[in-house]
Copies of this chain bind each other. A is one copy, B any other.
Amino acid sequence: MTAKKGFIRRTKQREVILDVLRSTRSHPTADWVYQEVRKEMPNVSLGTIYRNLKTLTEMGQALELSYGSTYSRFDGNPENHYHFVCEECGQVTDLDLPVQKQLEEDVSDMIDGQVSYHRLEFYGVCRDCLSLAEATDHEAE
């Protein structure tokens, strides 16, 4: 037992990845991060992106948001907060709603288990996509 656990080294790659993640509010996909990081480190590998996004998430410096059965999006703001997802364009936006932390206690009592976090997400159509739909309707007339 007590296997000697490896420590975490600081690497240039992870640093750039975190910078990129923090530079946007777009909740980017791994691939978007990859493209951005390549501008600074052309030889970085996609595997490294995935590896580090995972590491950062585990270190509590990022959040991973998974949607649909397709790709994950990442968030450079590790504080819990809620999101709105546009089902038309896929855009993910932060919501300025109070985080109901006490719900976690309610639930942990309810299930007699341990709750470590919760996610609240709203789905629908964003303003931009709504007005786009309107415009198209007018055209059709």
| A interface residues with partner B (beta carbon < 8 Å) | 1, 64, 66-69, 71-72, 84, 86-87, 93, 95-97, 103-104, 106-108, 110-127, 129-130, 140
Contacts and interface: CB of A to CB of B under 8 A. Distances in A.
A107 B110 CA distance: 27
B115 A84 contact: yes
Q: In the complex, which of the residues A103, A122, A125 has the most CB atoms of chain B within 10 Å of its own CB atom?
A: A122
Nearest to A118: B122
A5 to B, nearest CB: 16
A30 B96 CA distance: 35
A112 B127 contact: yes
A66 B119 CA distance: 12
A117 B106 CA distance: 23
Q: In the complex, which of the residues A68, A97, A124 has the most CB atoms of chain B within 10 Å of its own CB atom?
A: A124
A119 B119 contact: yes
A68 to B, nearest CB: 6
Nearest to A121: B119
A3 B24 CA distance: 40
A119 B116 contact: no
